[in-house]
A and B are shown apart, each in its own frame.
Chain A
Amino acid sequence: MRVKAQVAMVMNLDKCIGCHTCSVTCKNVWTSREGTEYMWWNNVETKPGVGYPKMYEDQERWKGGWQLKNGKLELKAGGKLRKLANIFFNPDLPSIDDFYEPWTYDYETLTNAKPSEHQPVAQPISQLSGDPLDLQWGPNWDDDLAGTPETGHLDPNIRGELEESVRFEYEKVFMAYLPRICEHCLNPSCVASCPSGAMYKREEDGIVLVDQEQCRGWRYCVSGCPYKKTYFNWETGKAEKCTLCYPRIEAGQPTICSETCVGRLRYIGLVLYDADSVEEAASVPDEKELLEAQRRVFMDPNDPEVVEQARFDGIPEDWIQAAQRSPIYPLAIDWGIALPLHPEYRTMPMVWYVPPLSPVMGFVEGEGSEADPDDVFPAIDELRIPIQYLANLLSAGDEEVVRRVLKRLAAMRGYMREKNLSGAGVEEIAASVGMEPQAIEDMYRLLAIAKYEDRYVIPLAHKELAHELYEQRGSQGLDFAASRAPAANGGNAAYSCSLDFAGGPGSCASGETGAPGGSPRNEGFYAMKDELEKKARALGGKVAAPNVQFFKNKQDFESFHLKGRGPQGAGA
């Protein structure tokens, strides 16, 4: 047993309204640069739909993920030798047209147009070539089932019997939204596919990253990832992917997609897992067993034996406590209502989903029946989202798993309704889905009314480690703070990087931290943030220092944090 901690996410699809706020904030933060226009590290696709890139779930075509070959786990695209033999041309790489050709508009026409009878029109212009573009496909082209009569049947999840039963006519159609980020898998096939060894899982929190300096642009991570969540930056010639907003996670904050989620449907927390048993779990022969196998890899953070092992394996005390308060473990294990996306890819994904129940309730209530569990349970099999479709997405085709989850979700609604109305008979409802009343109420709290602190339980990255790195570098920090408050500053007189320049603290250390093997985290900035928060507390202020804030000068910076409490703060 070797316990490691992983930052994991659960999304409650029942609450997703498909507003794309997550995608937009992610794009603004991470991929609004040249070469990344076509990348959506977070995207929301309408299901059924072809997805992004088109038909990415068709692994017979793209050869992403793992497969069992003679009982042994092997990359679906072939082993290492095969990869080296194909090093000149990656046969499984999607082209940019499988994503979409990014474009902008010729806005100048609008502002420069002379008065005329008709309104001027801005022409779409390709961001790749600068040529005028005849738009044929774009991000979320099939959003809300647009064009689904033509493209819907291309959805790889519609197979077998479903092909006969799914109709894309307006009145018979069903849909759900599926927000997707990198899965930060326990058994990442992108990492395994990288010939250069540039991709890695962070030992501390399991975040999967691309070392931009070591990447040589062979592109095998792109084709190796079955979720197609690694992208090739055509400007830099390097691979890029979702970072799980690690600078925010390190500071105890949720990812930007979670932070800005309008429906508050995302949960982030730690999961302790046994790194030694990952390969065995991913090698289970029956695809339908993979979900259970992955659940067994997760360790109970309240088990004293696990806790002791975690300590031995170097997981800090506060992280163990955070794992004990994690919203992920109950969702995935205790209540078992969160399911991994396509477990059959055998990558052990760590972004899990609570399947959507709303269409069921709509169906039941639309029929005029009372929505108590007795009515809902049979209806679950008649839903407009066929159970088989959800099962193809979330449980390798095992309908029983999805049925059980939907029943629990339905029972939770029935339970709470009964409890509020009559207060009687709730035990039976709980028992009908094999749950304790308390568990149902806890589940309700987490799914329905959980506050920010309950949805995001993210421990700070290691301070003592940060301190170590900080001392190693010793070349940046805040000289003004040192000179004004040398006593409070704990003797950190070696600060040399002040805020007296445009760009502020966020850009302070960029030059130094770019060194090979260096920490991308700006330790000087975090030290300064702590310092200022300490100062603010001493003065009775309660303003938490934000992690990115652009100030023109240090007065602005100080006064922001001391908001009228300190001697210099009056002007704020």
Chain B
Amino acid sequence: MNLWHQFLWVIFPYLALVTFVLGHIYRYAYDQFGWTAGSSQLMERRLLMWGVLLFHWGILFVFIGHVMGLLVPIEVYRAMGVSDHSYHLLALWAGTLFGVIALAGILLLNIRRWFISRIRTNTDTMRFLTDGLLLVVIFSGLAATVGYRIYAAQYDLPAEFEYRENIAPWFRSLFYFAPQIELMLEVPLMFQLHVLLAFLLFALWPFSSLVHVFSVPLGYLRRSYIQYRSSNPKAAISREKDRRKSRKPVGVDQGRKE
């Protein structure tokens, strides 16, 4: 374990995570105006429809898969009686399915961004970077999952790489501030690459349009359709209280609220 390992599996991940958290706080506080999904549907809709739907639905399930693999400890599965083999069977097939869907989507979105000139002209560097990085991260993730199988078959290794015994505990160890570097050292290169690229993406995240992930408008389900805003909310609220109390107009003098 040398300084280089220290950097890759402790310093860099922490830098990325701190940038992720503080970056979001900073951006939310100072750049509400810039906080948008940055849609280009207005410019082009046919390719976008396929790209966006494939990518988003794919990545949604890929995300759930990552929660299942990284955040839920292997002991939980074993206690629940899920055998390692059946876990990996599901992870491989579902993971590959949704991974390929997400990959096809992001590939289409990248192609669209680069080759349709009215979109390319109005794309900033950060968007190119994050869109490209998403492509690379998803590709490397798929390559690690599928590639390892092929590699293992050739060299007579155990068919399933048990990332829940090294990558997952290392990832969790970051969050209780006792990073277990040694767990990452023996991980195959493809997985290492996938992890590092993902952390790079996390570092760029708050400064890109990816922030829209945190704006899923769930509040829409609860609010009433028509929204009023008052330039004098205090008066409006007290008027509303009066109304609730009296249910009918009170005298003119009482009613006036300035």
Contacts and interface: CB of A to CB of B under 8 A. Distances in A.
Nearest to B250: A312
B241 interface: no
B214 to A, nearest CB: 10
Contact of A464 (B36, B37, B258): B258
A128 interface: yes
A126 interface: yes
Contacts of A197: 217, 219-220, 223, 227
A237 B34 CA distance: 8
B53 A88 contact: yes
Nearest to B223: A197
A59 interface: no
Interface in B138-169: none
Interface stretch (B63-71, B182-190, B200-208, B228-236): B228-236
Contacts of B239: 312-314
A337 to B, nearest CB: 29
B232 A219 contact: no
Interface in A290-329: 308-309, 311-314
B78 interface: no
Contacts of A75: 225
Interface in A342-363: none
Contacts of B243: 2
Contact of B231 (A2, A218, A465): A465
A196 B219 CA distance: 8
Contact of B43 (A87, A95, A203): A95
Interface in B25-71: 32-45, 48-49, 52-53, 56-57
B53 A80 contact: no
Contacts of B242: 312
Contacts of B120: 129
A465 B236 CA distance: 12
A99 B225 CA distance: 28
A237 B227 contact: no
B36 A217 contact: yes
A101 B119 CA distance: 13
A130 B235 CA distance: 51
B36 A238 contact: yes
B228 A200 contact: yes
B83 interface: no
B61 to A, nearest CB: 14
Nearest to A192: B225
A118 B255 CA distance: 76
A33 B112 CA distance: 26
Contacts of B232: 462, 465, 468
B231 A126 contact: no
A535 to B, nearest CB: 27
Given A129-B121, A238-B36, A232 B56 contact: no
A216 B36 contact: yes
Interface string B99-117: 0000000000000000001
Interface string A367-387: 000000000000000000000
Contacts of B226: 187-188, 191-192, 201, 278
Contacts of A101: 118
Contact of B45 (A95, A128, A201, A215): A95
A240 B21 CA distance: 30
Contacts of A134: none
A469 B256 CA distance: 19
Contacts of B48: 89
Given A83-B220, A203-B230, A465-B231, A126 B118 contact: yes
B151 to A, nearest CB: 35
Contact of A204 (B42, B225, B227, B231): B231
B245 interface: no
B212 interface: yes
A484 B53 CA distance: 65
B221 interface: yes
A109 interface: no
A453 interface: no
A386 B255 CA distance: 51
B3 interface: no
A235 interface: yes
Contact of A95 (B32, B41, B56, B231): B41
B108 to A, nearest CB: 12
A203 B229 contact: yes
A231 B15 CA distance: 40
Contacts of B52: 88-89
Contacts of A312: 239, 242, 249-250, 252, 255
Interface in A213-265: 213-219, 232, 234-238
B121 A128 contact: yes
> In the complex, which of the residues B37, B120, B229 has the most CB atoms of chain A within 10 Å of its own CB atom?
B229
B229 A465 contact: no
Contact of B215 (A187, A196, A468): A196
Nearest to B117: A129
A553 to B, nearest CB: 32
A7 interface: no
B121 A214 contact: no
B252 A80 contact: no
A84 interface: yes
A96 B230 CA distance: 34
Contacts of B220: 80, 83-84, 194-197
Interface string A1-30: 010000000000000000000000000000
Contact of A213 (B32, B37, B44, B121): B32
B219 to A, nearest CB: 6
Given A81-B221, A235-B122, A237-B36, A314 B257 contact: yes
A211 B7 CA distance: 43
A519 interface: yes
Contacts of A462: 231-232
Given A89-B49, A314-B236, A314-B239, A519 B225 contact: no
A234 B217 contact: no
Given A89-B53, A234-B122, A312-B255, A219 B41 contact: yes
A314 B234 CA distance: 12
Contacts of A516: 32
A93 B45 contact: yes
Nearest to B229: A200
B121 to A, nearest CB: 5
Contact of A218 (B32, B34, B37, B45): B37
B217 A196 contact: yes
Contacts of A89: 41, 48-49, 52-53
Interface pairs A-B: 6 shortest CB-CB: A312-B255, A195-B217, A192-B225, A213-B32, A237-B36, A217-B36
Interface of B: 32-45, 48-49, 52-53, 56-57, 117-118, 120-122, 209, 212, 215-221, 223, 225-232, 235-236, 239, 242-243, 249-250, 252, 255-258
21 contacts: A80-B220, A90-B41, A128-B122, A129-B120, A131-B118, A188-B226, A192-B225, A196-B215, A196-B220, A197-B227, A203-B229, A216-B212, A217-B38, A219-B39, A238-B36, A308-B249, A312-B239, A312-B252, A314-B239, A314-B257, A468-B232
Interface of A: 2, 75, 80-81, 83-84, 87-91, 93, 95-96, 101, 126, 128-131, 187-188, 191-192, 194-197, 199-204, 212-219, 232, 234-238, 278, 308-309, 311-314, 462, 464-465, 468-469, 516, 519
